[in-house]
Structure 1
C-alpha cells in the first residue's frame, strides 16, 4: 500500500519545496537534496504517527524557542500546506460536508482585534491605496445564513507590512473581527493590499535562495470564520491578477479562493458607496460545515501574537 508521502502528489510537492524541479541551474544541488530529505522525513513522521495540528505547533514552538522566523519556515517548507492536505483527506474519509476550502494561517495573526459591525472600515486611512469593499454571506452547507458569524480578517498594507509587526502602523490597522448580520451578511471596507517577501537576508530568505527559490507571497487577505455549532475555518483569498498568484512561496493559493475583483468606476455606484473615486469590489461567500465535536469550533493551540 502506498503511503501518502510516497504518493505522486506529495513526491512532486517535495521536489517543488526543495527546488529540485527547477532545472535552471539555480541553487545548490546538495542543499536541495538535503532539504528534500529533511522535509520528506518530517512529512513521513507527521503521517506515520498521525501528528495533529496541535502537536505539530507545540513541537515547532519548542524547537523554535521563540525564533521569529520559524513561522515563515513552516510556510515556506510546506509544513502548513501538508497539514492542510492531510486534514482534507481526513475530512473526505469521514464524509464531512465540503465548505469553503481551508488554507494556511501564516505567522502574522494577532489576537484581540476589535469586534465591529458589518460595514465597518478596518484601515486607519493612512495608506492611499485603492479602496476595497469586500462583502458576502456566511452560510451553512445547506445554504442557510449563519446569523452573527464572526469574520476575523487581517491583511497587509501596500508595502506588504502588517500592523503590530510594523510599528509605524496604528494598533490593529487592517485587523478586525466583523460580526455578520442576522441574515449572515458581512461587509468591510479597507484598501487593496500588496504581497510581501520574507525579510531580505533573514534565515528563511537564505534557505530559499540556497535551493533556488524566492520568498514572495501574492497579495492576499486572511480570514478566520467562526460561529457556535460550526467548524472553525482558516482560509485566505488571493487578489486576482497578482503576478505571483500561482507562485506563492507558502503554497496557499487555491483556485476556489480567487474571487473576481470589480474595479468599480460607475459614478452612480461610487456615489452610492459614499466615495469620491473608483474602488475595488469583491463579493465572496463563506460556507461552514457543522461541528462534530467542541474542538471543531476552536482555533488550534498554535502560539500567536497577542497585542497589548
Structure 2
C-alpha cells in the first residue's frame, strides 16, 4: 500500500473528524496537534505495513506501561529532544550561555524541607557507604553571585533507590532531598551519601521496550537540581559522575557536555566542586518551574 492512501479523501475526512476539525467546539490548537498526530500514526501504519496483531499488541503495551511512562519518555529520547528543541529556540532568539539544561526525570518529589546555610546535610541514611560533599556557587551571566536562590537537590541512595519510590520502604520520604536557600554570595555546600546509578525495573514496560530495540536501561550515578531565583531563568539540570561506566551511555540521554564532573575520591569520601550559571529572565514565567505533574509526599 502506498503512503498516498493517507492523503485520499476518505482518510483525510476521517482524520479531520476524529480531530474535531469539522466543528467549532474545542481547543483549536489541540485539534491541530491531534490532527497531525493521527496523520503521523496513520503514515507509520501504512509505511511499515503494520498488521492488525501488531497494532493491538502495541495498544496492549501502552495499556500496560502507564506506571512507567515517566521512564519510557526519557528512554525513547523525547525528554532529551525537548531540551534540544528549547536550546535551538534559545539560539534562534540569541540566548546563549548558562549551565546546560537537561532532563528532569520522573523522580522529583515536591515539598522537600527548605533549609538555609552552608554545609547542609541531605541524608537521613545512617549507612556506612562513601560520603559525598558537593560545593560551588550559583552565578549570573556576568559572573555575579545570585543572591537568594533556592536550590532543589535530589538523588538516589547508595543502592540506586530514590526516597518515596523505594520499594524497600527503608528511606524517609525526603532522604537525599532538600531545598536549600542560598545566601547573598550564592554559595552552596551539602553533604550526603554517594548515589548509585540505577536500571529500569527488570521485566517492566521500559525494560521490555529497551530489550526489543537492543538497548539497555541503565543510568549513571547522578544528582538532580532545580535552581530558581528572582530575576533569573529557572534551571533544570543534573550532573552525571564522569567516572561512572554509563556516564556516556545513559539510557535516558541525560548526559551533556559540561555536566560530567569527576568526583575526587579519597577513602570513604568523595567531593565535587561545581558552579552553576543562570540566564537572566526575560519574562516572569521564565522564573517558574514548568507545570509538569510531579509527585508529592
Do they superpose with TM above 0.5? yes
Contact 2:263 2:272 in 1 (8 A): yes
Q: 1:92 to 1:187 in 2, by over 3 A?
A: same
Q: Which of 258, 261, 267 lines up with 1:259 in the alignment?
A: 261
Question: Runs (4+) of structure 1 moved beyond 4 Å?
Answer: 63-66
Q: Residues 239-287 of structure 1, C-alpha deviation per residue, up to 9 Å, x if partnerless?
A: 121101111000010121011311246xxxxxxxxxxxx4211000000
Could you tell me how far 1:104 is from its partner in structure 2?
Answer: 0.2
Q: Residues 128-169 of structure 1, C-alpha deviation per residue, up to 9 Å, x if partnerless?
A: 221111010000000000112111000001111000011221
Distance in 2 of aligned mates of 1:140 and 1:146? 6
1:124 — aligned with what?
Answer: 124
Is 1:102 paired with 2:101?
A: yes
Contact 1:221 1:237 in 2 (8 A): yes
Could you tell me how far 1:119 is from its partner in structure 2?
Answer: 1.3
Is 1:283 paired with 2:282?
A: no
Distance in 2 of aligned mates of 1:106 and 1:294? 24
Contact 2:102 2:236 in 1 (8 A): yes
Q: Which of 238, 242, 259 lines up with 2:244 in the alignment?
A: 242
Paired residue secondary structure (1:255): coil
Distance in 2 of aligned mates of 1:189 and 1:132? 6
1:17 — aligned with what?
Answer: none
Q: Residues 93-113 of structure 1, C-alpha deviation per residue, up to 9 Å, x if partnerless?
A: 111131000000000000000
Is 1:158 paired with 2:148?
A: no
Distance in 2 of aligned mates of 1:264 and 1:216? 26
Q: Number of aligned residue pairs: give it.
A: 236
Unaligned segments of structure 1, at least 5 residues: 1-37, 43-62, 266-277
Paired residue secondary structure (2:258): helix
1:114 — aligned with what?
Answer: 113
1:295 — aligned with what?
Answer: 285
Could you tell me how far 1:127 is from its partner in structure 2?
Answer: 2.7
Q: 1:64 to 1:80 in 2, by over 3 A?
A: farther
| TM-score calculated relative to the size of structure 1 | 0.73
2:224 — aligned with what?
Answer: 222
2:68 — aligned with what?
Answer: 69
